[in-house]
Amino acid sequence: MGQLYEKDMSGCGIVGFMSENGKVIPGDRVITAMASMHERGNGLGGGFAAYGIYPERADFYAFHMLLDHPKAKTETEAYLKSRCSIEMDEPIPTRRNELVSDPPILWRYFLRLKPESAQDGDEEDAIVQMVMEINAKIEGAFVASCGKNMGVFKGVGYPEDIGAYYRLDEYQAYIWTGHGRFPTNSQGWWGGAHPFSLLDWSVIHNGEISSYGINKRYLEHFGYQCTCFTDTEVLAYMFDLLIRRHRLPIEIAAKIVCAHFWDEIERMDEKQREMFRTLRTVYASALVNGPFAVVIGHANGIVGLSDRMKLRPLIAARDGDMLYIASEDSAIREICPKPAQIWMPRAGEPVIGLLKSPQVETPASMRRLELFQMQLSN
Say if 234 falls within a structural domain. no
- pLDDT mean over 3-29: 82
- pLDDT mean over 231-239: 93
Among 79, 22, 94, which Cα is nearest to 52's?
A: 22
pLDDT-based confidence at residue 185 (cuts at 50, 70, 90): low
pLDDT-based confidence at residue 10 (cuts at 50, 70, 90): low
Are 353 and 301 within 8 A, CB to CB?
yes
pLDDT at residue 213 greater than cutoff 60: yes
Taken as a whole, the chain contains a residue count of 378
pLDDT at residue 365 greater than cutoff 50: no
Number of domains in the chain: 1
pLDDT at residue 9 greater than cutoff 50: no
Say if 5 falls within a structural domain. no
Burial of 276 (0-12, 13-18, 19+ CB in 10 A): buried
Lowest mean pLDDT among 6-15, 38-47, 234-243, 290-299: 6-15
- pLDDT mean over 228-252: 93
- pLDDT mean over 197-217: 95
Cα dist from 108 to 62, 90, 157, 213, whole Å? 7, 6, 21, 32
Q: What is the pLDDT of residue 361?
A: 63
> Any idea what the CATH number is for the domain that residue 329 is in?
3.60.20.10
Q: What is the pLDDT of residue 229?
A: 77
- Domain extent, residue 97, equals 13-204+290-359
pLDDT-based confidence at residue 314 (cuts at 50, 70, 90): very high
Coil, helix or strand at residue 69: coil
Q: What is the pLDDT of residue 121?
A: 75
How far, in Å, CA of 260 to CA of 327, rounded? 23
pLDDT-based confidence at residue 189 (cuts at 50, 70, 90): confident
Q: What is the pLDDT of residue 373?
A: 54
Say if 274 falls within a structural domain. no
Cα atoms in the 13 Å half-sphere on the side-chain side of 242? 26
If you average pLDDT over every residue of the chain, what do you get?
Answer: 91
Segment of 58-72, 106-120, 360-374 carrying the highest mean pLDDT: 58-72
Say if 349 falls within a structural domain. yes
Percentage of the chain lying above the pLDDT 70 cut: 91
User: Counting runs of H as helices and runs of E as strands, what totals does the chain give?
Assistant: 11, 18
Q: What is the pLDDT of residue 11?
A: 77
Q: What is the pLDDT of residue 1?
A: 36
Coil, helix or strand at residue 129: helix
Q: What is the pLDDT of residue 7?
A: 45
Say if 367 falls within a structural domain. no
Coil, helix or strand at residue 224: coil
Of residues 119 and 330, more confidently modeled = 330
Say if 375 falls within a structural domain. no
Which residues are designated catalytic? Answer: 12
pLDDT at residue 216 greater than cutoff 90: yes
Burial of 49 (0-12, 13-18, 19+ CB in 10 A): buried
- Amino acid identity of residue 102, one-letter, is D
Say if 79 falls within a structural domain. yes
pLDDT-based confidence at residue 206 (cuts at 50, 70, 90): very high
Burial of 245 (0-12, 13-18, 19+ CB in 10 A): middle
CA 72: distance to chain centroid?
25
- pLDDT mean over 53-77: 98
pLDDT at residue 258 greater than cutoff 80: yes
pLDDT at residue 47 greater than cutoff 50: yes
- Amino acid identity of residue 192, one-letter, is G
Of residues 121 and 254, more confidently modeled = 254
What pLDDT digit, counting tens, does each position of 118-177 carry? Answer: 877 799 999 999 999 999 999 999 999 999 999 999 999 999 999 999 999 999 999 999
Say if 366 falls within a structural domain. no
How far, in Å, CA of 150 to CA of 262, rounded? 38
pLDDT-based confidence at residue 103 (cuts at 50, 70, 90): very high
